Chains A and B, each alone.
Chain A
Amino acid sequence: MHPVAESLHRRFPEVVTGSREALGDLTVYLRENGALEVFQALHDDPEFRYDYIVDVTSVDYPMDTDRFEVVYIFYSLSRRHRIMVKIRIPESHPVVDSIVSIWKGAEFMEREVYDMMGIQFRGHPDLRRILMPDDYDEGYPLRKDFPLVGKGWRDEFSFVPKYHENLPPLPKEAH
């Protein structure tokens, strides 16, 4: 096991649920409850020192019980090591703690996750939509149940066939 994962397992046995090394990347899986402490340790402790925030993003697995996966990617400039941290959360309560107090750069990244996937961040200073219009109420575009075509203002036209609906019967030919 990677030394970072081992140390995290030892120090946070209730929060860290697993780890994986694949394609040269280390991934650590956390529980939502108590994750903020782990993040604080990842940033502050000299043995981790993941001071550079690379990205916060999310993936949608609609068939799973814990539907959403929030993915954090950090980099340690002094140790030249990258880590991915993943948290699974259910659709019924899609909330995780915000890490803006630790990495300021997370503010826009978390706003984008909220905008695209509808995941809420507890303690975020300004959780609004960022790329979509503020008054957009069609849902969250990067969820898997949001279709690529056929949703939006085009729906208002009666002659446009609806996505997922049966096409209207073709008019019978005159002869």
Chain B
Amino acid sequence: MESLEKEKIEAEASGTATVRREITLSTLRQAVLNGLDSSIKTEQFLLNMGPQHPSTHGVLRVLLDLDGERIKKAVPDLGYLHRGTEKIAEYRTYNQIIPLTDRLDYVSAMANNYAFVRAVEKLLQLKVPERAEYIRTIVAEMQRIVNHLFWLGTQALDIGAMSVFFYTFREREVLLDLFEKICGARLTTNYYRVGGVESDLTREVIDALYHFVDTFEPHIKEYNTLLETNRIWLARTKHIAVITGEDAVNFGLSGPTLRGSGVDYDLRKYEPYAAYDQIEWDVPVGQNGDIYDRYWIRVEEMRQSASMIRQCLDKLPEGPFMTEDHKVSFPPKGRVMHNMETLIHHFLLVVEGFRTPPGDTYCGTETPKGELGFYIVSDGSGKPYRMKIRAPSFISMGAFDHMSRGYMIADIVTIFGTYDIVMGECDR
């Protein structure tokens, strides 16, 4: 008792405690009055993120200019996966380029194959048999589901919701096994050909596909229950990385990234190709242009794709799956082995490739990530004079700085995820 009283008296006498508080308050008041410039030292803080980071979906490096934890400026540094696909393509025949396109966006190889062969067909003004068009539509929509499942799993995983990943990969595996039955490969498929597809859909595949689309809807509900009730996931996706429709168009964004902002630009509707104008389907369009809306669009697109596959399977016409125009397609193997002219023809198609008329064309295709376009200049030979790939991931990265300004460092991971970016396609 005595010692406590003694301390109290001593403190009062010296007045240390009160004096110290007064200094703090006055400093703060001064700081506020001076507009925070004289007393609190601020400095520019640069943070390097990547290229080796699990959430960058490959090798993407971003330089962040930070104000505390807020992003003032984000500068993407691309090119770690640059393989010069456009240059290599100038030295190859058109059929040899199809496998190169697999390696662009290795998550949706079929869609890339399709975009490329469509551009070459436009250059050749080639008509594709009806059955081939239906098969192409079916396989392209399968690829869309595969891609969106992959995106959904990894996007949730980036934020920390790990369980969705296992569920989406379960269904993805079913479709990849079907790809293996269709063309022999799971990821680098090399299935589409100029003038058709490489092989026909077998009865077994068709039955398995029917089974898949019939049982897919409950699975989508399952993913939704895992995410829509997850408050952390919702807080980290709603009102993050908002972009207005006008800005998104100005930046050239495409696919779900653009449609999340309320612009219904979908090449399958705007410039219908394959069987898209012969089946019933809708384009899901968002409102707020945030990460959540883009998630909703991708989930909705999976539903639409499943419905499209079912309709196409119902309508699948009989007939050839490859064009009969033997300027482009290989002659039947049986004739090659017995007929001299056919053998020479086959040989020339392999060695020199088919020739395209001189000219240039641009052809865009709606792939899961957006508008993948091929601009091909032909000089009349069997190889493209120049091939430019309009990669949606690359163009999305152009808007990255605009979309990430003002958000926190932790949001960077979700903003990467929302583009559905694949660096193989971005760097080419």
Which A positions have Cβ atoms within 8 angstroms of B? 22-25, 51-55, 57, 59-60, 71, 73, 77, 80, 82, 84, 103-105, 107-109, 112, 116, 129-133, 141-142, 146, 148
Known contacts A71-B375, A77-B263, A131-B78; is-contact A148 B88 (Cβ 8 Å): yes
| Segment of B197-205, B273-281, B393-401 in the binding face | B393-401
Instruction: Please report the number of residue pairs spanning A and B whose Cβ atoms sit closer than 8 angstroms.
Output: 98
B62 to chain A, nearest CB (A): 14
Q: Complex Cα distance A20/B84, Å?
A: 31
Contact of B123 (CB < 8 Å), options: A23, A55, A104, A112: A23
Q: Complex Cα distance A54/B386, Å?
A: 17
Produce 1/0 per residue, B220-252, CB < 8 A to A.
Answer: 000000000000000000000000000101111
Residue in B122, B249, B360, B388 with the greatest tally of chain A CB atoms within 10 Å:
B388
Contact of B249 (CB < 8 Å), options: A24, A52, A132: A52
Q: Which residue of A is nearest B377, CB measured?
A: A59
Residue contact A82 to B265, C-beta cutoff 8 Å: no
Residue contact B385 to A105, C-beta cutoff 8 Å: no
The range of chain B's interface size is 35 or more
Residues from chain B with a CB closer than 8 A to the CB of A73 are 362, 373, 375, 390
Contact of B394 (CB < 8 Å), options: A104, A108, A146: A108
Residue contact A54 to B87, C-beta cutoff 8 Å: no
Residue contact B394 to A54, C-beta cutoff 8 Å: no
Residues from chain B with a CB closer than 8 A to the CB of A133 are 79
Q: Complex Cα distance A133/B61, Å?
A: 13
Residue contact A130 to B402, C-beta cutoff 8 Å: no
Residues from chain A with a CB closer than 8 A to the CB of B78 are 130-131
Residue contact B265 to A105, C-beta cutoff 8 Å: no
Residue contact A23 to B125, C-beta cutoff 8 Å: yes
Q: Which residue of B is nearest A84, CB measured?
A: B362
Residues from chain B with a CB closer than 8 A to the CB of A112 are 394
Residue contact B362 to A55, C-beta cutoff 8 Å: yes
| B427 close to chain A: CB less than 8 A | yes
Known contacts A131-B78, A141-B87; is-contact A54 B122 (Cβ 8 Å): no
Residues from chain A with a CB closer than 8 A to the CB of B252 are 52-55, 103, 105, 109
Other contacts beyond A23-B122, A60-B386, A80-B271: 19, CB < 8 A? A25-B361, A25-B362, A53-B251, A55-B388, A59-B386, A77-B249, A77-B265, A82-B362, A105-B253, A108-B395, A108-B398, A109-B395, A116-B86, A129-B79, A130-B78, A131-B427, A132-B79, A141-B84, A142-B86
A146 to chain B, nearest CB (A): 8
Q: Complex Cα distance A126/B177, Å?
A: 46
**Considering the complex of A and B, which 10 residue pairs feature the smallest CB-CB distances, nearest first?**
A105-B252, A108-B398, A131-B79, A105-B251, A57-B388, A53-B252, A131-B82, A55-B390, A59-B386, A23-B361
| B359 close to chain A: CB less than 8 A | yes
Q: Which residue of A is nearest B263, CB measured?
A: A77
Known contacts A25-B361, A142-B86; is-contact A104 B250 (Cβ 8 Å): yes
